[in-house]
């Protein structure tokens, strides 16, 4: 039971890290868009890069907190975030994921899984 509790705690810490970084990056990017002449189209690759970074950091956080099964904790942390994003988009905006979004979220799951594996190896048992 203690192993499951540690796993779920790690998943929630990882998801919290992802959400916090996404909010931080969104705030910074909104300031850039507001106070510069950049357009949304010119920042597309920066948004993708920052999103991948947030997923990697969340996976690493989950892996460090769990100290075992990093691939599972990283995957579950990203899966929880993807489910939350889907719920917000579907229930809040009445839109389902497009094919492009599904591909991006599959990439996010893979990146967070890799982050979880890295995090387990960074943790000191």
For the chain, domain boundaries: 2-122
pLDDT digits (tens, 9 = 90+) for 58-77: 999 999 999 888 899 999 99
Q: Residue 58 belongs to what H/E stretch? A: helix 44-66
The C-alpha atoms of residue 109 and residue 13 are separated, in whole angstroms, by 16
Instruction: Quickly tell me which residue has 């990146």 as its tokens.
Output: 111
Q: Are 19 and 11 in contact (CB under 8 A)?
A: no
Question: What's the pTM?
Answer: 0.91
CA distance 94 to 9: 31
Residue range 23-40, pLDDT digits in tens:
999 999 999 999 999 888
22 CB-near residues (< 8 Å, 6+ apart): 51, 54
């Amino acid at each position: 039971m203690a192993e499951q509790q540690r796993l779920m705690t790690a998943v929630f810490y990882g998801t919290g890290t992802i959400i916090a970084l996404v909010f931080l990056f969104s705030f910074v990017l909104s300031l850039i868009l507001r106070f510069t002449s950049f357009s949304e189209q010119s920042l597309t690759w920066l948004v993708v890069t920052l999103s991948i970074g947030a997923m990697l950091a969340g996976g690493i956080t989950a892996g460090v907190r769990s100290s075992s099964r990093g691939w599972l904790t990283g995957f579950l942390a990203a899966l929880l975030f993807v489910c939350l994003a889907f719920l917000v988009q579907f229930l809040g905006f009445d839109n389902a994921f497009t094919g492009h979004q599904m591909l991006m979220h599959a990439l996010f799951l893979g990146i967070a899984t890799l982050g979880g594996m890295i995090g387990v190896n960074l943790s000191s048992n």
